[in-house]
């Protein structure tokens, strides 16, 4: 299997870090913008899109700051790929940004970035941060 390429994206968000974190870390919050539906049982989150399910393991979270998941498919194959959503607040301006770290196959990086752009646009609409 070819190694996937790590990429990071930054999205300015006009919302408080605590409100934003709620949309990043809870099944109800994630189902508002990331997937059609999200369920969790312990560390395992089930994301549902158009009837298809993908499971991800919660690798860690720090309240109000970041949350990190690994897709179970990658976990089962012993891969160390993950996706992380991190809230960054500028100390001087107090501007809030959402930092996305993800991995994709080399020929799918641009497509993955566009997908994140669309997902974050949905998040901004939900937050009223457009």
Instruction: List, for residues 82-117, the tens digit of each pLDDT value.
Output: 999 999 999 999 999 999 999 999 999 999 999 999
Domain boundaries, the chain: 5-127
Please give the Cα distance from 12 to 129 (Å, whole number): 9
Tell me, what's the pLDDT at 42?
A: 94
| pLDDT value of position 75 | 80
Q: Please say whether the beta carbons of 17 and 32 come within 8 A.
A: no
Bridge partners of 71, per DSSP, are 56
Q: At residue 1, does pLDDT exceed 60?
A: no
**pLDDT score for 2:** 65
DSSP state of 83: E
Q: What was the pLDDT predicted at 129?
A: 80
Decide if 61 contacts 45 (C-beta within 8 A): no
Whether the Cβ atoms of residue 18 and residue 123 lie closer than 8 Å to each other: no
The residues with which 13 forms a beta bridge, in sequence order, are 96
CATH of 5-127, one of 3.40.50.2300, 3.30.530.20, 2.30.30.60, 3.40.430.10: 3.30.530.20
Chain center to CA of 94: 22
* C-alpha pair distances (Å), 52 with each of 37, 47, 49, 89: 10, 8, 5, 35
Checking if the pLDDT of 78 tops 90, the result is no
pLDDT in tens, 10-65: 999 999 999 999 999 999 999 999 999 999 999 999 999 998 999 999 999 999 99
């Amino acid at each position: 299997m070819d190694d996937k390429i790590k990429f990071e994206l930054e999205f300015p968000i006009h919302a408080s870090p605590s409100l934003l974190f709620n949309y990043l870390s809870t099944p109800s919050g994630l189902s508002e913008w990331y997937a059609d539906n999200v369920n969790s049982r312990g560390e395992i989150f089930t994301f549902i899109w158009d009837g298809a399910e993908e499971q991800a393991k919660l690798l860690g979270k720090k309240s109000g700051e970041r949350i990190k998941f690994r897709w179970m498919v990658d976990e089962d194959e012993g891969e160390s790929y993950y996706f992380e959503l991190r809230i960054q607040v500028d100390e001087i301006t107090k501007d809030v940004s959402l930092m996305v770290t993800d991995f994709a196959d080399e020929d799918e990086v641009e497509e993955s970035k566009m997908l994140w752009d669309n997902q974050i646009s949905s998040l901004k609409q939900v937050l009223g941060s457009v």
